[in-house]
Structure 1
Amino acid sequence: MIHRIVKMEFDPSKLDEFLANFEENKSKIRAFEGCEKLELLQDKHNTNIFFTYSNWVDEPSLERYRNSELFKGVWAKTKLLFNAKPVAWSTTVVKSEE
């Protein structure tokens, strides 16, 4: 299982545009083969900073998504709204206390 975290910082005047794009595409991303979870998180104090948190069955599933027309379309609109370079991490669980 791959846990993907992407930090994105937006121009404050572009937040509505970002949220509309996410709303329009979230179900398609979640339905993409290999995606098991998708969440959008917002920083509590810096409200123009968001994180996507997604779980993928494996690295090839994530790569198929990253190379898909869906991702290319979503990312093309999203990257125009940034005011800082996004940062992404692919992680795996080392320990869990659930």
Structure 2
Amino acid sequence: MLVRIVKMQFAPEAIGDFQNLFEKNKKKIRYFEGCRRLELYQDQKNPNIFFTYSYWESESHLNAYRHSDLFAEVWKATKAKFSDKAEAWSLNKLVELD
């Protein structure tokens, strides 16, 4: 299982637009082939900072998404709202305890 974490920072006036964009596209992303889970977080101390966590069956599934029309459309619209450069990490999930 691969976990993709993306940190994004928005101008305060762009937060609502980003949240609407995420709401509009979250199911399309979540049900893209190979995506097993999608989460959105907002920083408690700085509400301009958001994180997405997406869980993928493999790197090839993530890469298929990253090369899709869906990603191109959503990322272009999201990136236009950034107030700082995004950061991203791809991690191998090793342990999960419930």
When the two structures are aligned, how many residues end up with a matched partner? 98
3-state SS of the aligned residue for 1:74? helix
1:7-86 to structure 2, matched below 5 A, reads 7-86=7-86
Q: TM-score, length-normalised on structure 1? A: 0.96
Deviations 1:14-66 (A, max 9, x none): 00100000000000000100000000000011001000001000000000000
The separation in 2 between residues aligned to 1:79 and 1:89, in whole angstroms, is 17
The separation in 1 between residues aligned to 2:50 and 2:6, in whole angstroms, is 8
Gaps spanning 5+ residues in structure 1: where?
none
Instruction: Calculate percent identity across the aligned residue pairs.
Output: 51
User: Quick one: which amino acid aligns to residue 23 of structure 1?
Assistant: E
Partner of 2:92: 92
Runs of 4+ residues deviating >3 angstroms: 94-98
3-state SS of the aligned residue for 2:16? helix
Q: CA RMSD in A?
A: 0.9
Change (3 A) 1:14 1:4: same
Answer 1 or 2: which has greater strand percent.
2
Q: TM-score, length-normalised on structure 2? A: 0.96
Deviations 1:63-87 (A, max 9, x none): 0000000000000100000000000
